[in-house]
Amino acid sequence: MAEAVRGGPKLPGRLREVSRLLSRRFGRPGACGHEIDPIRNLVLTILSQNTTDANRDRAYDHLVKRYPTLPELAAARPSELEEAIRTGGLAKAKAKSILGALARIKEEGGGYSLDFLRGMPLPRARAYLTSLPGVGVKTANILLLFSFGLPAFPVDTHILRVTKRLGLVPAAATLAKAALSLEPHVATGDHVPLHLNLIRLGREVCRPRNPLCAVCPLLSVCPEGARNTKGKVCRP
């Protein structure tokens, strides 16, 4: 297991097997729902931080209704933007990040567009995005994968939990460190389905408490699952 955690030759093979088993259970989902303007996807992703999808979507809907265009959003008063996105939580911090990111993009690019990232090498594009206020590796990778089709691999709390239990990343790994260590070893074309399927697994099966190891599609490749089900009858 240590070899795989360090990114040795076994890691790409293990990730391919994980992806195969998840696809057999859940299918191979695509990027449906994320084909929106990259700037708006950036705003949406900032709103998604530390909240549920439902609260994120409510906050985004309120924001769009109040500020239909990006120039209107960029010119918003911080207190008014906070009120518009309050349902998403952490409104003060998120409003500051959104307005700060839009101001930087406008100042440096002359408009509200991230099209200059197209064709840019992945590390350079990620470095630019993470230089924006409130944008970490997870937020940057979501944008790069879903808006630009780059082979970035976003890791959220569900994926981090699952990959730690699988022994694919060290127990002390952070979201950012896990993403950067796994990303180079994900097979071409697997970044979107593996990302989405790991999230689904984490929500439905590999839960924080009382994981359903006996019915997990990854039981055959999971050291923790093997320990949890040792001596128990496993039913599909």
Does residue 21 sit in the same domain as residue 45?
A: no
Note whether 160 and 111 are same-domain residues. no
pLDDT exceeds cutoff 50 at 3? no
User: Is residue 5 predicted with pLDDT exceeding 80?
Assistant: no
214 and 129 both lie in a single domain: no
Residues 52 and 142 in one domain: yes
Choose the final residue of a domain: 146, 174, 198. Answer: 146
Gap between the Cα atoms of 47 and 83, Å rounded:
13
| Residue bearing tokens 């997990």 | 216
**Domain assignment present for 233:** no
CATH of the domain at 196: 1.10.1670.10
pLDDT at 234 over 60: no
End-to-end CA distance of the chain: 25
* pLDDT given at position 205: 97
Domain end point (choices 146, 164, 179)? 146
- What pLDDT, on a 0 to 100 scale, did the predictor assign at position 4? 43
> How confident is the model over 36-90, as pLDDT tens digits?
789 999 999 999 998 999 999 999 999 999 999 999 999 999 999 999 999 999 9
Residue 187 covered by a domain: yes
Assigned domain for 138 exists: yes
Q: How many structural domains does the chain have?
A: 2
Last residue of a domain, one of 103, 126, 146: 146
Non-local CB neighbours of 32 within 8 Å, separated by 6+ positions: none
Do residue 125 and residue 168 come from a single domain?
no
Question: Quick one: 220 and 165 in the same domain?
Answer: yes
Position 35 pLDDT exceeds 80: no
Is residue 213 domain-resident? yes
For the entire predicted model, the pTM comes to: 0.88
CB atoms within 10 A of CB 133: 15
- Sequence-ordered list of residues with C-beta below 8 angstroms from that of 233, at least 6 positions apart, any chain: 214
Q: What is the CATH number of the domain that holds 56?
A: 1.10.340.30
From residue 57, alpha-carbon distances to 12, 53, 70, 125, 157 in Å are: 35, 6, 18, 26, 19
In a domain, 235, yes or no: no
**Positive or negative CA dihedral for 51, 53, 55, 58?**
positive
Domain that holds residue 116: 38-146
**Among 32-46, 51-65, 177-191, 219-233, which stretch is predicted with the lowest mean pLDDT?**
32-46
